[in-house]
Amino acid sequence: MDKLPPEIVLQILRTLKDEENNIAPLLRLNSQWFNCGISVLWGGGGMGQGMDSELVEVYESRRQIYASVIRSLNLIVYQRAYRTAFRYLTFPKLMCLTIIFEPPKDEEDQSPESLVLEDKFDLQQYLHSGVRYLWVIGDVNADLLAFPDTYCFHLRTLFITNVHPHHRLKILSGVLQNNGTVINGALTWKDPARRMAADNFNI
């Protein structure tokens, strides 16, 4: 098993994962299988896609190993357990980030307005110069939408969707226009009269 070419190992792992098999035990065979399979575990085609709900299940001592190869991540901001678990992780290869601001589900969760400063601190580890694609979903405070411009110097695509009605189009348009490297941008917001309104920007 340790003499197979890496291409064969990758193909085996991808085939098994596509068939919804649990490939995690195979990564323990040896270092070659681990190195080939670690990105496959997070998504097909070697993209390295991860969900915060999956990463939090990894043993704390090994989370950084996985975080170091993830290229695409879906992050739910209001999950406090995830934020605590990932606080000291770095994501050096992260290129595509989806930030989901789900509405608070219980009384202990804070409102978007009260999370602004804390979120800015927590999101710094994800919003770095390597990020090319950013998708923001949900009830996010408008102040946070200017945050990518500070750290994502090479951002190419910015989508803001399912925006709460209290965000004005002028503010959101300014966010897109202030990110000088963005060439693809779009936003959708909740409009009671039309259910959903949308604008596409060619910046």
**Per-residue pLDDT tens over the stretch 79-116:** 666 777 888 899 998 888 888 876 655 544 444 444 44
Pair of tokens at residue 63: 């989370």
**What is the count of structural domains for the chain?**
2
Which residue(s) pair with 96 in the sheet? 72, 133
Q: Are residues 53 and 21 in the same domain?
A: no
Say yes or no: 64 and 162 in one domain. Answer: yes
* Domain range for 6: 1-41
One domain for residues 48 and 32:
no
If asked whether residues 168 and 140 sit together in one domain, one would say yes
| Residue 14, φ and ψ in degrees, nearest 5 | -65, -40
Residue 46 pLDDT: 37
* Domain shared by 52 and 117, yes or no: yes
- Output the domain CATH number for residue 118: 3.80.10
20/62 same-domain check? no
Question: Which domain-ending residue is among 9, 26, 41?
Answer: 41
Please indicate, yes or no, whether residues 48 and 27 belong to a single structural domain of this protein: no
Q: What is the pLDDT of residues 57-84, one digit of tens each?
A: 778 888 898 888 888 888 877 666 677 7
pLDDT at res. 45: 40
